[in-house]
Structure 1
Amino acid sequence: MYQIIVGIDEDEAHAKLCAEEVVGMPGDGSEKHVTLIHSFTDNPSGASATQLAPVREASDVLDEAGIDYDVTESSGDPAEAIIDAADDVDADLIVIGGRKRSPAGKALFGSVTQTVILNAGRPVMVTGVPEDA
C-alpha cells in the first residue's frame, strides 16, 4: 500500500489539483491510501476539516477514483502538521500545492511548501499553481 499525505490549504483549486495528481500516479486506486490534512491557524467557528470546501473538493476527486482516504486536522503550523502526519503513517510521499511567490516574498513571509520540502525527510510532490490562477 502506497501511503500519501496531501496537505490541504484554503484554496479549492489547489486541493483539487493535488487530488488529481494522486489519481494520475501509477497504480490502481486500491494500491493507494491518502491522508488529507488541514491545519487550522484560526478557527473561530469551530469547523472540522471535513466541513471545508477544499477538503470536500479533494475528497470528491478521490471518491470518484476509488481511492481510500481519511481526513485529519490539526492546529498551528501547517508545515509541522504535514510533516508530523507523514511521520505518523510513514508516508511514501507528501503532496502539496505551490504558490506563485517571488523569492523576496518567500523570505519575508515564509513558505509552507518550502519548509516541508526542506524538513520532511521523504519525497515531496509540489503540484504548482492551477492553470486558471
Structure 2
Amino acid sequence: MYHVLLALDETESRALAQANAVIDLPESDSSVKASLLHSFTDNPSGASALQVAGVRRAQETLEDAGVETAVVEASGNPADVILDVAVERNVDCVCVGGRRRSPAGKALFGSVAQSVILTADRPVLVAGDGKE
C-alpha cells in the first residue's frame, strides 16, 4: 500500500487539485492510502480538521474514487508539522498544494510548500492551485 500525506489548508480548489493528483496515481483505488493533514496555527475554538472545507472536500473526492482516507489534525508551524507527521506515519510521499506567488512574496513571506520540498526526506508531489 502506497501511503500519501496530503497537507491541506482551507482552500477547496487547492484541496481538490491535491486529491485529484492522488487519484491520478497508478491503481489509486486499490493500492493508495491517503492521510489528510490540517495543521492549525491558531485554534481557540477547538475546531476539528473535518470542519475545514478543504479537508472535507479532499476526503469526499478521494473516497468517491475508492481511496482509503484518514484525517489527521495537529497544531504548530505548518511546514514542521507536515514533516513530523510524514515521519511519524512513515508515508511514502507528501502531497502539497502550490500557488502562484511573486518572487517578492516568496522572499518576504516564505512558503510552506517550498520549505517542505527543500527539507523533506521523501518524495514530494506538488499539485497546482486548482485554478484555471
Q: Same fold (TM over 0.5)?
A: yes
CA distance in 2, matches of 1:28, 1:93: 13
AA aligned opposite 1:76:
G
> In 1, distance between residues paired with 2:11 and 2:86?
21
Residues 21 and 45 (structure 1 numbering): CA distance in 2 closer, same or farther, change over 3 Å?
same
State the partner residue of 2:78: 78
Q: TM-score, normalised by structure 2?
A: 0.95
Letter matched to residue 33 of structure 2: H
2:65 corresponds to which residue? Answer: 65
TM-score using structure 1 length: 0.94
Q: Could you list the runs of 4 or more consecutive aligned residues of structure 1 that deviate by over 2 angstroms after TM superposition?
A: none
Distance 1:23 1:41, change over 3 A: same
What is aligned with 1:113?
113
Letter of the structure 2 residue corresponding to residue 71 of structure 1 = V
Q: Identity of paired residues, percent?
A: 50
Q: Give the residue type in structure 2 aligned to 1:2.
A: Y
Deviates further, 41-50 or 64-73:
41-50
1:20 match: 20
1: CA distance between counterparts of 2:57 and 2:126?
A: 18
Q: Which moved more, 1:123-132 or 1:49-58?
A: 123-132
* 1:18 positional shift: 0.3
CA pair 28-36 structure 1, distance change in 2 beyond 3 A: closer
User: What CA distance in whole angstroms lies between the structure 1 residues aligned with 2:28 and 2:126?
Assistant: 21
